[in-house]
Amino acid sequence: MIATSYSGMAVDLAFLRPVMPYHHVLVDVRESPFTIDFDTQVPYDTYVRTDTLHDLQHPLSEDPGEMSFLMITQVMELYFKLIAFELRGARERLRADDVWGAVGTLRRTALHLEGLNASWRGLRWMTPAEFNRFRTRLGEASGLQSAMYRRVEFLLGLKNPALIRPFKRKAGTYGELAAALDEPSVWDEAGALLGRRGHDVCDPAAVERAWVAIYASEDRETRLLGDALSEVAEQFGEWRYQHVAAVRRAMGHKPGSGGSSGLAWLERSMAQVVFPELWSARTHM
Ligand code: HEM
Please report the atom of ligand 1 found closest to the CA of residue 240. 41
Q: How many domains does the chain have?
A: 2
Residues 166 and 40 in one domain: no
The CATH number for 230's domain is 1.20.58.480
Identify whether 152 is part of a domain: yes
Ligand 1 neighbourhood includes 65 CB (under 6 angstroms): no
Residues 41 and 167 in one domain: no
Mean pLDDT of 92-121: 98
Identify whether 53 is part of a domain: no
Query: Given this model, what pLDDT does residue 25 score?
Result: 57
Residues 155 and 252 in one domain: yes
Ligand 1 neighbourhood includes 72 CB (under 6 angstroms): yes
Identify whether 60 is part of a domain: no
Ligand 1 neighbourhood includes 272 CB (under 6 angstroms): no
Identify whether 55 is part of a domain: no
Please report the atom of ligand 1 found closest to the CA of residue 153. 40
Identify whether 56 is part of a domain: no
Query: Given this model, what pLDDT does residue 37 score?
Result: 85
Distance 57 CA to ligand 1 centre (A): 19
Residues 76 and 212 in one domain: yes
Q: What is the pLDDT of residues 126-174, one digit of tens each?
A: 999 999 999 999 999 999 999 999 999 999 999 999 999 999 999 999 9
Q: Which letter, b or e, does each residue of 139-173 get, where b requires 16 or more Cβ atoms within 10 Å of its Cβ? A: eeeebbbbbbbbbbbbbbbbbeeebbebbeeeeeb
Residues 184 and 44 in one domain: no
Residues 43 and 140 in one domain: no
Identify whether 75 is part of a domain: yes
Mutate to test the pocket of ligand 1, among 134, 164, 167, 243 (most ligand atoms within 8 A of CB): 243
Residues 76 and 192 in one domain: yes
Ligand 1 neighbourhood includes 149 CB (under 6 angstroms): yes
Model pTM?
A: 0.90
Please report the atom of ligand 1 found closest to the CA of residue 259. 16
Q: What is the pLDDT of residues 225-271, one digit of tens each?
A: 999 999 999 999 999 999 999 999 999 999 999 999 999 999 999 99
- Whether the per-residue pLDDT at 7 is higher than 60: the answer is no
Distance 243 CA to ligand 1 centre (A): 7
Q: What is the pLDDT of residues 11-64, one digit of tens each?
A: 555 555 555 555 555 666 666 778 888 888 999 999 999 999 999 999 999 999
CA–CA dist 235, 239 (Å, integer): 7
Ligand 1 neighbourhood includes 70 CB (under 6 angstroms): no
Ligand 1 neighbourhood includes 73 CB (under 6 angstroms): yes
Q: What is the pLDDT of residues 85-94, one digit of tens each?
A: 999 999 999 9
Residues 90 and 186 in one domain: yes
Residues 108 and 18 in one domain: no
Residues 39 and 77 in one domain: no
Query: Given this model, what pLDDT does residue 19 score?
Result: 55
Identify whether 106 is part of a domain: yes
Nearest CA to ligand 1 atom 41: 269
Nearest CA to ligand 1 atom 7: 247
Residues 74 and 17 in one domain: no
Distance 247 CA to ligand 1 centre (A): 7
Name the residue range of residue 175's domain.
Answer: 67-284
Ligand 1 neighbourhood includes 80 CB (under 6 angstroms): no
Identify whether 168 is part of a domain: yes
Residues 155 and 234 in one domain: yes
